[in-house]
Amino acid sequence: MRTPVAAACLAFSLCFAASASAATTQGGEPHTAKAEGGALDVVSVSFGQRSRELEIVYRSTEAITPQLLAEVKGGQICTVFEQASIAARAVCVTRSNGKWQIVSRGERVEGSVSQPRESELRLRFEPAAAKLRVGLADVYVNATAAGCSAQQAKAAKVTWSEAAIVSAAVLELPCEHRLPRVGNYRARVWDVVVSGCRRHGAGQVSRGPSGSKRVALTYDDGPSTYTPAFLRELRKLGVPATFFVIGQQVSANASVVRAMLRDGNMVANHSWNHANLGGGGAGASSQLRDTNAAIRRATGFTPCLFRPPYGSTGADLVSRANAQGMTSVLWSVDPLDWRTPGTGAIVNTALGQTHGGGIILSHDGGGPRSQTLEAMPQIVRGLKRRGYTFVTLTDLLGYSERITLAK
């Protein structure tokens, strides 16, 4: 079996491009199956895993129209994954309720489908969402046009290239189209490790884009004895936060910092020992570097956000943070929780000041934090009622994750 690998695909963990020649050139005329009941002529497929998501790209010689893949008439393009010790899983794209949908075993798979050109469909989904396992898989593709009945499929026991030789007028075209025609591709589903994030844009920010009602909760000065309770509360509320941690407190609380990331929160740098670094200088650089090293040792993750202690900042400090791949982040909403003004006051100030793109400052360490903890669910529910959604700071700023793929 021949599986030519396109050069553009080499960065991918698994990637094959099926040869179009067998399907389209042998009979001379390219196949077109615009009518219902014909074969859907998928001539190439490529697989890749750039990030958490597996990407499958199907290309055809013709427009892949909603009609061709109408779910009600059985239209679909499926990639079948055969993995050791589990039953084969078909992950299919179909058209239903006016939308492209990814479906596996009759259930919707969360993901996205785009159509960069009319003859191309691009699917992205997390392998776990389709219940695929990390490891090797035998893979093939099966395309069925809408309206293709079982009888038709049986009657048309010719391969596509044979069909192409005979005039389409005298031969019913085959309903199904398989790639590769014989055998399987060999693919690998990788485990995904988030190893960092990638900053861009302004060197220092104090708010996110105001266009949408997204806000970021941030907690400074931990990890502390309070932090596990903050994490439990966030899990209950189903929202993420961003934790600016003190470097020298990380190694003794390594499991707490790991739990932050595991729960979908963001971990960020708040200096080694909360020194005032506003004047910059080489000492500031080593505070930042040592803190990132401690976080990396505990979690494997390298932050891309830094918050200057006391909000004390300056051009030299910002450029030193940027040089280490971090944006300097201040805030736009300050309920002054560290002064312990009472839970009600913290809640009211937070609700009163919040705006689209808001960065809310609070503290999970550095003093008594039960008021801050008590205020959190009230702030979250209050802002949700006003239509706000909660995201990590990296999401708010549109930063991407750095991903490492592991077997």
Task: Report, in Å, the least distance between residue 275 CB and Zn ion.
Answer: 11
Q: Catalytic one among 31, 41, 177, 220? A: 220
Among 41, 55, 62, 221, binds Zn ion (CB under 5 A): 221
Which residue of 55, 220, 337, 395 would you call a contact of Zn ion, by CB under 5 A? 220
Q: Whole-number minimum distance, CB 71 to Zn ion, in Å?
A: 54
> What is the closest distance, in whole angstroms, from the C-beta atom of residue 221 to Zn ion in the complex?
4
Q: Does 395 bind Zn ion (CB under 5 A)?
A: no
Q: Which residue is nearest to Zn ion (CB)?
A: 220
Q: How far is the CB of 365 from Zn ion (least distance, A)?
A: 8
CB 103, CB 92: distance < 8 Å: yes
Contact segment (CB under 5 A) with Zn ion among 96-104, 214-222, 283-291, 372-380 equals: 214-222
Distance CA 69, CA 82 (A): 24
Single-letter code of the amino acid located at 26: Q
Catalytic one among 274, 363, 364, 395?
A: 363
**Minimum CB distance to Zn ion smaller for 247 or for 309:** 309
CB 145 within 8 A of CB 37: yes
Nearer to Zn ion, 62 or 220 (CB): 220
From the CB of 340, what's the least distance to Zn ion, in Å? Answer: 15
177 is catalytic: no
Euclidean distance between CA atoms 126 and 199, whole angstroms: 24
d(CA 151, CA 198): 54
The smaller minimum CB distance to Zn ion, of residues 93 and 267, is found at 267
Rounded Cα–Cα distance for residues 314 and 276 (Å): 11
Stretch that binds Zn ion, among 163-171, 306-314, 327-335, 354-362 (CB under 5 A): 306-314
Residues 257-276 that bind Zn ion (CB under 5 A): none
**How many Cβ atoms sit within 10 Å of the Cβ of residue 211?**
8
* Residue 359 dihedral angles phi and psi, to the nearest 5°: -115, 110
Give yes or no: 363 in active site: yes
Binding-residue total with Zn ion (CB under 5 A): 3
CB atoms within 10 A of CB 162: 13
Nearest to 104 by CA among 135, 137, 80: 80
Contact (CB, 8 A) for 243 and 361: no
- CB-based contacts of 78: which residues, under 8 Å, 6+ apart? 90, 91, 92, 93, 141, 142, 143, 144
Q: Say which residue the tokens 């006003």 belong to.
A: 386
Among the residue ranges 20-28, 194-202, 234-242, 301-309, the one whose residues contact Zn ion (CB under 5 A)? 301-309
What residues make contact with Zn ion under the rule CB under 5 A? 220-221, 309
Catalytic sites, residue numbers: 220, 363
